[in-house]
Amino acid sequence: MYKRHTEMKPFIPQRAVCVLFKSHQWAVILLAAMAILCTIAQQSFSQSRASNLPVLKIGSKAFTESVVLGELLSHLGRDAGARVEHLSELGGTQILWNALQSGEIDAYVDYTGTIREEILADAARRGIPVESESEMREELANRSILMSERIGFNNTYALGMREDVAARLGIRKISDLRKHPELEYGLSDEFMERRDGWNQLASRYGIKTRRIRTMDHNLGYRGLVHDAIQITDIYTTDAEIQHYKLRVLEDDLQFFPTYYAVLLMRADLQSRAPKVADALLKVQGLIDPVKMSGMTAMVRLDGKNETYVAGDFLNTKLLMQLELPSNTLGAEWRRIADRLLKTTLEHLFLVAVSLSLAILVAIPFGILSARNERVANVLLGVVSVIQTLPSMALLVFMIPLFGLGPVPAIAALFFYSLLPIVRNTYAGIRQIPVATRESAEVLGLDAKSRLRLVELPLALPSILSGIKTAAVINVGTATIGALIGAGGYGSPILTGIRLSSIPLILQGAIPAAAMAVLAQWAFGMLEKKLVSPGLQPQS
């Protein structure tokens, strides 16, 4: 950047000094910004808290079947007079289970196999029987969680073949495979690894073959279509079963554990909103396997949205009169625009609040570190360790403390933003030449004034570049907030991954990248404005 000496305006650095001079101004500006963002966010996270309707919070996991069921429960609850929030596509069983126990959500659908193997694993270890469904129901009731009767389908592993190939070879049951060693298998990594996976299945059924390739679950279907493989592992409710006309081989030795879908609901919902609780229980026995995979297929293969598919099913099956979102092109564009606005506000909120808090904490930490090498070792050590924690792990740690939604995401992002700012503040102050520091001392300035008038302004370029780094990392990392219901650009990305929809992924990825570039640019401008021209590159 070229600047002529005569163009230098002396008041600019004075203003920079001024900003640091009244260091509380920083805090005031940041707090004001946070207050504004909080207001915006409250509007986008929960509409009108004032209403008297009972609140129902539904959860769902990050796969299509779960999201459809979540939408279905939402319809039922809304129809029974509840104000419903659907925290969709949460990041896994543990997150949902913890959320259910802490009351962050009131109900969601899980599977008996998962309840037995994961949720009640600790009870099983303590010798409490949780094998049968009634045993599970009893143990869950002890934890104030109500488990419904079966919804009506079993979503477990199975082996699948193309209908025409199976018919030609006369294969109906898994044990028929013994007679066909020539067949090629394409199995998913997970199925190869699991305790109830391939190795145990093969030994149980006495299948001996070396013709096995491991591949991605979705590629397995493609392999079948092109006859590159004849057998793959599938889930019994996969949408693709109908689409590709597959035969699900009968598990005649009952090897696979059962994964019957059931509703898990907080017991207190029944006393708080009995009508709503009763409405949710209508899912018992409501959906057979064909209907379930049909609904999933409508979403995954026909591109209908989950709200529509679940509502359409209820209107047909229970003769309800739900208003369905329209599927016209115009409505779709409006949805895209609405989503962009909503996710942008949510994302901005996550980034702005977490970054502001990090700045308020990290700069003093950096100053303390620069003052004392022992403190520096401890502080820099701690924030570095935080940085190495996997983001998913950090998120899970935050849930018991802050529940679900934006708060735990902000907490996690706050921790991730600390390191670059602490380190750059520390380095910025330490790099000031001894002669400069001593000059300030010998003038007769006390330590506080030296910090304000000399050390911080000189460290400012370094501090700002630390904040810039934190901001860019933060914009990217905030996408994982979607895993715990914080919204933001992660939501369309997550949905896009689930639906293998590149356009949907791009609806999150492109604005996230744009926001990162924008943040970079904005901090560049801020740097030019705040940093003394005397410290900026000369011609």
Partner 1 sequence: MFALENISKSFGDLQVLKLTNVEFPVGKSTVLIGPSGCGKSTMLRVLVGLVQPDTGTVRFEGEAMTEKTLLAMRRRMGYVIQDGGLFPHLTAFENISLMARHLGWDMSARQARVTELADLTRLPATALKRYPAQMSGGQRQRVGIMRALMLDPPVLLFDEPMGALDPLVRFDLQEDLLKIIRTLNKTSIMVTHDMGEAGFFGDQVMMLAEGEIVQQGTLDMLIHQPANDYVTRFINAQRIPHV
Where does this chain bind partner 1 (CB under 8 A)? 5, 8, 10, 13-14, 16-17, 435-436, 438-446, 449, 453-454, 457-458, 460, 531-535, 538
Closer CB to partner 1, 11 or 271, in the complex? 11
**Shortest approach of partner 1 to residue 468 CB, angstroms?**
19
Rounded to an integer, what distance in angstroms lies between the CA atom of residue 143 and that of residue 295?
32
- The amino acid present at 331, given as its one-letter code, is A
Rounded to an integer, what distance in angstroms lies between the CA atom of residue 395 and that of residue 405?
11
**Shortest approach of partner 1 to residue 7 CB, angstroms?**
11
Alpha-carbon torsion (196, 198, 203, 204), positive or negative: positive
Place of tokens 């109900």: 107
Nearest CA among 489, 248, 193 for reference residue 347: 489
Closer CB to partner 1, 7 or 131, in the complex? 7
Report DSSP letters for 382-448, one per residue.
HHHHHHHS-HHHHHHHHHHHH-SSHHHHHHHHHHHHHHHHHHHHHHHHHTS-HHHHHHHHHTT--HH
**Shortest approach of partner 1 to residue 494 CB, angstroms?**
46
Closer CB to partner 1, 48 or 539, in the complex? 539
471 within 8 A of 418, measured Cβ to Cβ: no
Residues 6+ apart with CB under 8 A from 50: none
Closer CB to partner 1, 200 or 436, in the complex? 436
The b-or-e profile of 397-434 (16+ CB within 10 A means b, else e) is ebbeebbbbbbbbbbbbbbbbbbbbbbbbbbbbeebee
**Shortest approach of partner 1 to residue 13 CB, angstroms?**
6
**Shortest approach of partner 1 to residue 442 CB, angstroms?**
4
Closer CB to partner 1, 173 or 452, in the complex? 452
Nearest CA among 368, 379, 408 for reference residue 391: 408
DSSP 454: I
Closer CB to partner 1, 14 or 94, in the complex? 14
Six-digit token pair at 49?
Answer: 């808290």
**Shortest approach of partner 1 to residue 368 CB, angstroms?**
21
**Shortest approach of partner 1 to residue 449 CB, angstroms?**
6
Number of Cβ atoms within 10 Å of the Cβ of 44: 16
Report DSSP letters for 341-356, one per residue.
HHHHHHHHHHHHHHHH
**Shortest approach of partner 1 to residue 438 CB, angstroms?**
6
**Shortest approach of partner 1 to residue 458 CB, angstroms?**
6
Closer CB to partner 1, 190 or 441, in the complex? 441
Closer CB to partner 1, 103 or 534, in the complex? 534
- The amino acid present at 161, given as its one-letter code, is M
Closer CB to partner 1, 476 or 533, in the complex? 533
399 within 8 A of 408, measured Cβ to Cβ: yes
Closer CB to partner 1, 94 or 436, in the complex? 436
Residues 6+ apart with CB under 8 A from 449: none
Helix (H) or strand (E) holding 380: helix 373-388
**Shortest approach of partner 1 to residue 460 CB, angstroms?**
8
